[in-house]
Amino acid sequence: MTKLRISVVQYLNTAPLIRGFTHGPLRDLAEKEYDLSFTVPSQCAEALRTGAADIAIIPAIEYQRIVSQGIPLTILPDLAIASKERVRSLLLVSKVPIRQARRIALDPSSRSTQALTKILAARRWQITPEFFEPAPPATTNENSDKRHAGGDAKVYSGIAALLANADAVLVIGDAALRIAIAAEAQGVKPGPDGEWLTSAATLADSPARHDLPQNSQLHIYDVVKEWWHLTEKPAVLAIWAARNQSFPNNLVPASVTADFQSSLDFGLTQIPQIAAEAANEMHLPEKELCLYLQKNIDYTLDQENLQGLLRFFQESQALNLIPPLSHISIAAGPDSPARHIDFTVAQKRA
């Protein structure tokens, strides 16, 4: 039997979703039926788009973009990477108050976070900055060895270098979480717009680095917190999506959705172990990583998160970041029927 190809984001926050496949009771099944590969969010979406993957964790915004190209997708039920109010792993690091920013560097590896930043600029901060993607990417942690101190040094140096040519830099994933933990440990002050104020020493990895004056002040904005201030809704950052054409009759089998739910169920019982492993690898406090996975990340696609997803699609389309909105298809789950959501009708009810 041909294995289903699964594309997975290689960040800490995805670990509970796949724990059952990699360390738990589904491990033997996964070896027989699933072929897991790891990359960054944008490449997961590309694999699903091209047919190189059958199921992938994709940035939420890519669902609409891929479906608009005539490639039907189905969202796996009751699963997501979301955040209710504050996430700590999606940060805008700015030299100036963000309403004064004129040039913002965007991490190219997460398209949903790029869209959130553009929405916030237009709708919350009411600015029209120049956005650009650094080349080569300087703020991503695509390779697992970047979790170690040497890799993070490159990440921090890249952020500092970008801030020499931009007012603000979007930082995501484990590198952003490291900055958040460091800032909290040093002590932060609230800024006039609800941001954190901290010293540039937060980014310091070596006394030999001269990219930023160590006494300069940084403004740090949590992207999910800013989204909540704008909408009072959670942010859905990523979803499991399946390529309909990979399955007989274009229907994701209930057995597949049950496997993915079971993997998460096991992963949620393993958060202390996941945090301990990551703390050793990332050289960060285990307690902080456990708090992040338990409190900052929400793994459901509950009604509240679904409404946040619908609002995100609406705001993205209003800024022409995605094509005209397509219906949303959600596969049947162990305790729920398949759903097809007409976005415009759902939004009117919200």
Q: Which of 184, 208, 231 is the last residue of a domain?
A: 231
Question: What pLDDT shows up at residue 42?
Answer: 79
Q: How confident is the model at residue 348 (pLDDT cuts 50, 70, 90)?
A: low
Same-domain status, 227 and 242: no
Mean pLDDT of 8-33: 92
Same-domain status, 189 and 101: yes
Mean pLDDT of 291-312: 96
Does residue 144 surpass a pLDDT of 60?
no
Say how many CA atoms lie within 13 Å of 106 toward its Cβ.
Answer: 20
Same-domain status, 166 and 251: no
Q: How confident is the model at residue 302 (pLDDT cuts 50, 70, 90)?
A: very high
Same-domain status, 105 and 77: no
Collapsed DSSP state (helix, strand, coil) of residue 342: coil
Q: Provide the whole-model pTM.
A: 0.88
Question: What pLDDT shows up at residue 212?
Answer: 57
Q: How confident is the model at residue 343 (pLDDT cuts 50, 70, 90)?
A: low
Collapsed DSSP state (helix, strand, coil) of residue 262: helix
Domain range enclosing 132: 90-231
Does residue 273 surpass a pLDDT of 80?
yes
Q: Which of 231, 246, 273 is the last residue of a domain?
A: 231
Whether the CB-CB separation of 87 and 222 falls below 8 Å is answered with: yes
Question: What pLDDT shows up at residue 36?
Answer: 94
Chain centre distance of CA 200: 25
Mean pLDDT of 289-300: 96
Whether the CB-CB separation of 74 and 242 falls below 8 Å is answered with: yes
Mean pLDDT of 245-267: 94
Number of domains present in the structure of the chain? 2
Collapsed DSSP state (helix, strand, coil) of residue 332: coil
Phi and psi of 69, rounded to 5°?
Answer: -90, 10
Is there a cis peptide before residue 136, judged by omega within 30 degrees of 0? yes
Question: What pLDDT shows up at residue 200?
Answer: 81
Mean pLDDT of 42-55: 94
Same-domain status, 285 and 330: yes
Mean pLDDT of 169-173: 91
Residue pLDDT, tens place only, 51-71: 999 999 999 999 999 999 999
Burial 24-43 (b: 16+ CB within 10 A, else e): bebeeebeebbebebbbbbb
Does residue 31 surpass a pLDDT of 50?
yes
Question: What pLDDT shows up at residue 145?
Answer: 35
Question: What pLDDT shows up at residue 314?
Answer: 94
Residue pLDDT, tens place only, 74-118: 999 999 999 999 999 999 999 999 999 999 999 887 789 999 999
Q: 337 or 129: which carries more pLDDT confidence?
A: 129
Q: How confident is the model at residue 204 (pLDDT cuts 50, 70, 90)?
A: low
Does residue 141 surpass a pLDDT of 50?
no
Mean pLDDT of 41-60: 93
Q: Average per-residue pLDDT in the chain?
A: 87
Same-domain status, 245 and 344: yes
Q: Which of 231, 263, 296 is the last residue of a domain?
A: 231
Q: How confident is the model at residue 2 (pLDDT cuts 50, 70, 90)?
A: confident
Collapsed DSSP state (helix, strand, coil) of residue 252: coil
Same-domain status, 98 and 77: no
Same-domain status, 170 and 66: no
Same-domain status, 276 and 256: yes
Burial class (CB in 10 A: 0-12, 13-18, 19+), 64: buried
Same-domain status, 215 and 114: yes
Question: What pLDDT shows up at residue 58?
Answer: 94
Residue pLDDT, tens place only, 19-29: 999 999 999 98
At 117, the amino acid letter reads: T
Same-domain status, 109 and 222: yes
Residues 6 or more apart whose CB falls under 8 angstroms from that of 177 comprise 12, 88, 89, 284, 289, 292
Burial class (CB in 10 A: 0-12, 13-18, 19+), 304: middle
For residue 96, the cross-strand partners are: none
Same-domain status, 99 and 164: yes
Which CATH number goes with the domain that contains 204?
Answer: 3.40.190.10
Whose structure tokens read 């040039």? 103
List C-alpha distances in Å: 184 to 49, 149, 188, 213, 277: 39, 19, 6, 20, 22
List C-alpha distances in Å: 19 to 28, 259, 268, 325: 13, 11, 9, 33
